[in-house]
Structure 1
Amino acid sequence: MLPKYIQNPKIKNALLAFCSRKYTLFSSPMAATEECLRKTLTEKVAAVEAQGNAVRALKAGGAAKSEIDSAIETLNSLKLEKAAAERSLLGGSDSREAFRQAVVNTLERRLFYIPSFKIYRGVAGLFDYGPPGCAVKSNVLAFWRQHFVLEENMLEVDCPCVTPEIVLKASGHVDKFTDLMVKDVKSGTCYRADHLLKDFCNDKLQRDLALPADKVAELKHVLATLDDLSAEELGAKIKEYGIVAPETKNALSEPYPFNLMFQTSIGPSGLSPGFMRPETAQGIFVNFKDLYYYNGNKLPFAAAQIGQAFRNEISPRQGLLRVREFTLAEIEHFVDPQDKSHPKYPEVADLQFLMFPREEQMSGQSAKVVRLRDAVSKGIVNNETLGYFIGRVYLFLTSLGIDKDRLRFRQHLANEMAHYAADCWDAEIECSYGWIECVGIADRSAYDLRAHSDKSGVPLVAHEKFSEPKEVEKLVITPVKKELGLAFKGNQRMVVEALEAMPEKEALDMKAALESKGEVEFQVCTLGKNVTIKKNMVTIQKEKKKEHQRVFTPSVIEPSFGIGRIIYCLFEHTFYTRPSKAGDEQLNVFRFPSLIAPIKCTVFPLVQNQKYEEVAKQISKSLTAVGISHKIDTTGTSIGKRYARTDELGVPFAVTVDSTSSVTIRERDSKDQVRVDVDKAASVIREVTDGQRTWEDVWSTFPHHSSASADD
């Protein structure tokens, strides 16, 4: 809340001018205040980490008990200060939950979204978007198309949601797209096992201030290696920590795999099995050959798709963040594996933002601001094209209104990476639920196209023609499937895939080890363990031959956007409250940028007057003609209440008709108003909502208008 003295117009305007210079990424002085609170919280987090390290060092060094106790007392005080800073950042709420509930209540009451099938008590993990929610989603997707499809000249496709089993068998989803599930042994309620363990560890770390250093390290190690745990190891941890069913406190079953895809059948016979797609990417991969031809048989090129995806979540929670049907926007950028440079990389290379490489995660450090150019040149980010898309994702999210200080790019740990991936980063956004993965940006190597080539028998390859024949040396990895089948039986295919996907250096090291020792230990990520490969199971050799062209399987850089998750985080990042004119209640405001606001403008006759209503209709017609979404409110409600209603919908501008020759235009966050001729109102609104001019420019161009009723 802004102090009362800021309501003085002179002080308020001076502060606005200051903020427009100092905090150019924010739309109001309150956002600048949030920035200060965010910096304070960052300092407190760093202090807690430093003091925690100091306590551990004292214990390791055998310091006196009094010295250790004093250091622990300081650590606990710093943790309390950190918690207070978090509460301040959430608008003075007692907890993240209270802030979240205020946001969710507003969203549901104003029909941004509601539980699906509400009159039948709903279904967990399914939600309907109401009118303003649909508009926000539509605007986000329109900007996504502008920012990626149009600016990058991508090929957009639209593939069916129903997918034949053979396609998802080839991609690995039928066998591997599973989560480990546990059941309440009495009620039968199902839970995702890793989520229960993750929640237990996080809760223990956050709430138990006196936790010994060795226990803190143990819990952090469990969190870091969670994706590596087998069903048996996960079950053992759940028993060790005494984790029970959250609602009933009953015992839990042993973890067992559950495939997350919705199964169906295609056609009336039921003999053609299929699934509702869990992602949109496979539709692009199976169309690669035709898309490559459409692009003139040239690389690189990118294909994009927006569509629904379906995952039968075990225990949906966190509102829009974990649902069973959702919208994905995915890009598959096909590139020569020998040249992953990008011609537009210099345009983003100097961007600086929070990055969280795996080394910092494993050593317990925090994310730090890094220049993208440095991350790529040091090899932290694998290649230029991957770096380019990380930069473009950053620009996309911050343009939508995501707070840059609550956005970070986290590199996947080794245990999270698929065996075929060269590198993978998640754009994570912080909200009241913590850090949420909203965009994945991965270098998937050539795995997907190879998998579909093998299964379908259709080569999904690219060609580079030589001006004259070349003698080339190629590394050929030939798994002996008969011997592998005898040794690994049902796991044969996963071992074969892992061998074929080996990088050249690893393959040559294996060849040397097999020749000297006769066998070698080999990690198969999809099995989650090492296997013993013997000399008779694989042939690795280099062959020389003359070729007129190079035939290769392209690598794929894949940015994948969870649109619902981005939108929910956007709701939280743009929500704030301010006092009513009377000061007896807090009014809700969504600080949406004009780019994604559900309604760009409202038109209000000041009072119910025929002449004013005619002017309002005239302005409405002009706004429609220039494509500006708007709403007329001719109710007899006070102008202050009408402003408050539209502020709660995030409408950035309001036109108030109080004469037949000129009107006022009000900006939502500053509540400042300017007076504009009736025939210029629509063009001014169009220019400022389209980004052709700023509100500061409008404020300096037109006469200012002050009205007590404007100060809600």
Structure 2
Amino acid sequence: MATSTTKTGQPLDRAAIDSVLRRRLFYTPSFEIYGGERGLFDYGPPGCALQANIVDLWRKHFVLEEDMLEVDCTMLTPEAVLKTSGHVDKFADWMCKDPKSGEIFRADHLVEQVLEARLKADKDARGVKVEVDEAKEAKKKKKISQKAEKLDDALVQEYEETLAKIDNYGGDELGELIKKYNIKGPTSGAELDPPKAFNLMFQTQIGPSADKPNGYLRPETAQGQFLNFQKLLEFNQQSMPFASASIGKSFRNEISPRSGLLRVREFLMAEIEHFVDPEGGKKHPRFEEVKNTKLTLLNRKTQLSGSTKCDEVTIGDAVASGLVDNETLGYFIARIQDFLLKIGVDKTKLRFRQHMANEMAHYAADCWDAELFTTYGWIECVGCADRSAYDLTVHKEKTGAALVVRETRAEPLVVEEFQIDLNRKKLGPKFRADAKAVESAVDALSQDLREKLSLELEKSGKIEVPTPGVGSGTTELEKDLIKIEKRKRTEHIREYTPNVIEPSFGIGRILYSMMEHVFWIREGDGSRGVLSFPPAVAPTKVLLVPLSSHPDFKPHTKKLTHRLRRVGVSNKVDDSSASIGKRYSRNDELGTPFGITIDFQTVKDNTVTLRDRDSTKQVRASEDEIIDAVKSLVDGEETWDDIAKRLPAFEGQEVE
């Protein structure tokens, strides 16, 4: 696996960035003074601000730009809802247990970890110089002992092909791989139990009278949006297509969360459900705006061949060739990339991977994941799925609710079909308690079967109708009970169940991956870390630095603080006794993009210096000009290069 590097080309040291993030309280393990609980984390002040800014930008980029209808639905979900949606039966990962140590592992992750470790040992044995993440390797050595052995070339290729297809394996196949490659318990060396399905949802009890769990903490925000579809359609004045959006917490009982913020049990999601008419190929009215957007795509066919080689293609070409199923799916894939780049994701560490058949969610017709490369490898951060009409259909069938669109046809449609008349006066007394079930089964007969049965009824005077759950599964009906005739009817109203395109964002995963992408080390002066957040998402936009504690500086500092807040620019003051250089350096670790220094020249003429975090260059101008410049930079209207061209450079005080 390739090594993640910083923007300056340095190998990215995960231990270094974790040290900065925890020391600066971006996040911390939950319940730490009680020993902590795996897979649960708390965000500190800069982490909260960073997350809030990412969510704010997400709302502007999607909800505002696409005119979406935002809803906030409950996290508690009755069991019946998730049983109907398929989550109770199918929302699971494969786990295997070490019977000797009692450790439990997610089966696909264990296979992946062992094979990668063996490939690394093979490269070491061949004398291939490979840059590695030392922290990751130290952990691997502790958990999985691998001698530096040369592997047969054919086995190396087999391992690489297996890793490329790892997401396509089910439980039985993972069990076979564990046996085939002699994968044992990492600490005990014991043979592992066969993989078992483990449902990831947290059960809970809703209400004091329930004597057993009767609900779940939601595993996604989508179901609330589907259940409110009819109300949202009415709110939207029956206009199609439209999209709803929801931002909120979801919960998944991860089998073995071991990757920091990337695999947690409680997390923030931002999901979109774009409802579209299935007729007409799922076109999107704004697809022309994005069709020339270039994307890095890893398609299903390439993965099944055992390769991870990506292609760079425009989304227009991908849709035209059928690689991406339709325009609406393609439109959102392009918009997802645009959003990720806005918040600071490195484009060279972004790819879209198509789901293989075996890993496809039970509802999906096609799905692409936006994956970001980190020190943990490629991490799925956004899923973009065509859920077809699955969810609305199953909830409609279960509840009888009209989760459909009804539109007046421009031209009436004449339909010729086989229609059935039942003699209910005779049907009831004959079948008694089963009468309703028989009637429902008859109503559900397809047109092809109705045609066949009409000929049989005319010929023999009776027919056998499939009636699941009644008697032997078929019911005889004579011609005095049923009539089947071909008739014409005119439809003035078209009724259909919309299809759904769903972009689903894991905010925590995006946040952590982006922090790795923007982290780098400033060489010299202690080799301090820098988080180069784009101004739009940086937790604090401006650091105000009085040259000293001289009382003449305080009025200017206070005035600048209030003026910046009035224009919506977050700022904080560092008037500690440390040197200006040290004060700026510790705020570089917090990702603060700009700094304003108040000095004795400020007292004389109301001018201040403005510092750029990444280049450490400065300009000097009046307070009004600097505030206008900062506002322009934060809003993305100008870059630092633009500011440096129009405001005078300043070469005075800085480092220590």
Shorter-chain TM-score category? 0.7 to 0.9
Aligned letter for 2:623? V
Aligned letter for 1:356? L
Per-residue CA shift, 1:432-477, capped at 9, x if unaligned? 111111000011100011111111121311123213421247999x
- SS of 2:357's equivalent in the other structure is coil
TM-score, length basis structure 2: 0.82
The structure 2 residue matched to 1:592, chosen from 530, 533, 537, is 533
Structure number with higher relative contact order (C-alpha < 8 Å, ≥ 6 residues apart): 2
* Distance in 1 (alpha carbons) for counterparts of 2:507 and 2:88: 25
* Distance in 2 (alpha carbons) for counterparts of 1:126 and 1:365: 32
Contact 2:90 2:362 in 1 (8 A): no
Contact 2:184 2:190 in 1 (8 A): yes
Bigger CA radius of gyration: 2
Deviates more, 1:326-335 or 1:688-697: 688-697
Contact 1:671 1:711 in 2 (8 A): no
The structure 1 residue matched to 2:635, chosen from 687, 690, 702, is 690
Alignment of 1:601-616 (within 5 A): 601-616=542-557
Q: How far does residue 220 in structure 1 lie from its aligned partner after superposition?
A: 4.0
Residue 393 of structure 2 corresponds to residue 450 of structure 1: yes
Q: How far does residue 132 in structure 1 lie from its aligned partner after superposition?
A: 0.2
The structure 2 residue matched to 1:702, chosen from 635, 647, 651, is 647
The structure 2 residue matched to 1:112, chosen from 14, 20, 26, is 26
Residue 382 of structure 2 corresponds to residue 439 of structure 1: yes
Alignment of 1:159-198 (within 5 A): 159-198=73-112
2:609 corresponding residue in structure 1? 664
When residues 313 and 543 of structure 1 are mapped into structure 2, their CA distance, relative to the original with a 3 A threshold, is: farther
The structure 1 residue matched to 2:195, chosen from 248, 255, 265, is 255
The structure 2 residue matched to 1:245, chosen from 170, 182, 185, is 185
Q: How far does residue 228 in structure 1 lie from its aligned partner after superposition?
A: 4.9
Contact 2:101 2:187 in 1 (8 A): no
Residue 17 of structure 2 corresponds to residue 103 of structure 1: yes
Contact 2:205 2:214 in 1 (8 A): yes
When residues 88 and 293 of structure 1 are mapped into structure 2, their CA distance, relative to the original with a 3 A threshold, is: closer
* Distance in 2 (alpha carbons) for counterparts of 1:361 and 1:240: 21
Contact 1:168 1:174 in 2 (8 A): yes
Contact 1:613 1:634 in 2 (8 A): no
1:564 corresponding residue in structure 2? 508
Residue 372 of structure 2 corresponds to residue 429 of structure 1: yes
Contact 1:353 1:404 in 2 (8 A): no
* Distance in 2 (alpha carbons) for counterparts of 1:353 and 1:337: 26
2:287 corresponding residue in structure 1? 345
Contact 2:168 2:356 in 1 (8 A): no
Contact 1:181 1:257 in 2 (8 A): yes
Q: How far does residue 543 in structure 1 lie from its aligned partner after superposition?
A: 10
Residue 326 of structure 2 corresponds to residue 379 of structure 1: no
1:313 corresponding residue in structure 2? 254
Unaligned runs of 5+ in 1: 1-81, 477-499, 512-534, 537-541
1:640 corresponding residue in structure 2? 581
When residues 216 and 472 of structure 1 are mapped into structure 2, their CA distance, relative to the original with a 3 A threshold, is: farther
Per-residue CA shift, 1:353-412, capped at 9, x if unaligned? 211122222332511211111111111111111110011001000011101111111111
- SS of 1:191's equivalent in the other structure is strand
* Distance in 2 (alpha carbons) for counterparts of 1:166 and 1:126: 28
Alignment of 1:73-472 (within 5 A): 92-93=10-11, 99-209=13-123, 210-271=150-211, 273-339=214-280, 340-363=282-305, 364=307, 366-418=309-361, 420-472=363-415
- SS of 1:444's equivalent in the other structure is strand
Contact 1:197 1:238 in 2 (8 A): yes
Unaligned runs of 5+ in 2: 124-149, 420-443, 453-472, 475-485
Q: How far does residue 247 in structure 1 lie from its aligned partner after superposition?
A: 3.4
When residues 543 and 373 of structure 1 are mapped into structure 2, their CA distance, relative to the original with a 3 A threshold, is: farther
When residues 187 and 420 of structure 1 are mapped into structure 2, their CA distance, relative to the original with a 3 A threshold, is: closer
Q: How far does residue 88 in structure 1 lie from its aligned partner after superposition?
A: 8.5
Aligned letter for 2:563? S
* Distance in 2 (alpha carbons) for counterparts of 1:183 and 1:586: 44
Residue 618 of structure 2 corresponds to residue 673 of structure 1: yes
* Distance in 2 (alpha carbons) for counterparts of 1:202 and 1:262: 32
Aligned letter for 1:571? M
* Distance in 1 (alpha carbons) for counterparts of 2:537 and 2:491: 53
| Residue-pair matches, total | 566
Percent of counterpart pairs with the same letter? 51
* Distance in 1 (alpha carbons) for counterparts of 2:207 and 2:613: 54
When residues 696 and 475 of structure 1 are mapped into structure 2, their CA distance, relative to the original with a 3 A threshold, is: farther
Aligned letter for 1:156? E
* Distance in 2 (alpha carbons) for counterparts of 1:693 and 1:221: 47
Contact 2:25 2:43 in 1 (8 A): yes
